[in-house]
């Protein structure tokens, strides 16, 4: 069972604690201590109570720190910020992802004993199970699967459809931090696993922006919108409340999760 924290807000900097990269020097403030999106959950979980949150972010792109190694990164960030697509840097791995209204974020944090690698698969399986169960409430069947050609592809995507017909509906990543035990007797590992769910998203526009940023970097990466799917396009009847309804379903799943 997770303690479910309320929405972290809609602003990608103030609400989520993302380190927004704007201007000509994107690396100066980029340190391991920079607050990242939902990293506040790590401190909550270190007190002994697993924590979860659900939210939407403002429009923008989010990349892992490895992207800052590109020579063109600073100029690309400035260009995209001026165009209304600010670029934020996260500490977890993976690749570029879009953010904005209609994209739901879901995060879980909990303390474990032992090495992170001993628990990373379990963390991915847990968040995938909770999201899959929530989507099932709306008649959407999903399962973990890599989807080649989708942005930020990984083995623990959630996909709709199978084989070559599979389309990514959610992506996941995780971050681990070492924290003191509450009684001061030693240390524990806090795992933060988070997911991005395409709920009411223009996947063509989202993929196009990710492709444009990759092109600005000269990375050679390219993503295909037909490899992703937004949940609202899978409903027989769309009453316009899917985003809020799914957020509520995710909160319920986290609050009653069996770990």
Q: What is the mean pLDDT of each run of 10 residues along the chain (259 residues)?
A: 62 31 29 47 87 90 94 97 94 91 94 90 96 98 97 96 95 93 89 96 97 98 98 91 95 87
Annotated domain spans of the chain: 3-255
150 contacts 94 by C-beta, under 8 angstroms:
no
The model carries a pTM of 0.86
H helices of the chain, in order, are 40-45, 73-82, 120-136, 203-217, 242-255
By CB atoms closer than 10 A (0-12, 13-18, 19+), residue 151 is buried
Q: Are strands 60-64 and 97-99 parallel, antiparallel or unpaired?
A: antiparallel
Q: Among the CATH numbers 3.30.930.10, 1.25.40.10, 3.40.50.2300, 3.30.365.10, which is that of 3-255?
A: 3.30.930.10
- Residue recorded with tokens 């990759």: 214
**pLDDT value at position 15?**
31
Residue count of the chain, please give it.
Answer: 259
CB atoms within 10 A of CB 201: 25
CB 216 within 8 A of CB 72: yes
Q: What is the pLDDT of residue 12?
A: 31
């Amino acid at each position: 069972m997770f303690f479910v924290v309320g929405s972290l807000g809609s602003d990608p900097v103030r609400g989520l604690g993302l380190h927004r990269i704007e201007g000509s020097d994107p690396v100066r403030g980029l340190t391991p201590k920079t607050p990242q999106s939902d990293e506040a959950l790590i401190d909550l979980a270190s007190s002994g109570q697993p924590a979860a949150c659900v939210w939407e972010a403002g429009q923008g792109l989010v990349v892992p720190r490895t992207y800052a190694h590109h020579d063109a990164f600073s100029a690309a960030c400035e260009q995209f910020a001026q165009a209304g697509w600010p670029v934020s840097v996260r500490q977890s791995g993976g690749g570029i992802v879009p953010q904005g209204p209609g994209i739901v974020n879901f995060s879980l944090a909990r303390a474990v004993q032992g090495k992170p690698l001993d628990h990373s698969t379990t963390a991915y399986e847990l968040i995938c199970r909770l999201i899959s169960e929530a989507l099932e409430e709306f008649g959407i069947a999903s399962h973990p699967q890599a989807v080649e050609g989708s942005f930020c592809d990984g083995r623990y995507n959630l996909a709709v459809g199978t084989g070559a017909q599979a389309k990514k509906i959610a992506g996941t990543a995780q971050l681990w931090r070492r924290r003191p035990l509450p009684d001061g007797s030693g240390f524990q590992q806090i795992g933060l696993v988070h997911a991005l769910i395409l709920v009411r998203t223009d996947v063509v526009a989202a993929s196009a922006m990710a492709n444009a940023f990759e092109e600005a970097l000269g990375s050679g990466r390219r993503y295909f919108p037909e490899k992703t799917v937004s949940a609202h396009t899978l409903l027989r009847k769309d009453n316009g409340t899917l985003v809020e309804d799914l957020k509520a379903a995710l909160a319920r799943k986290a609050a009653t999760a069996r770990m």
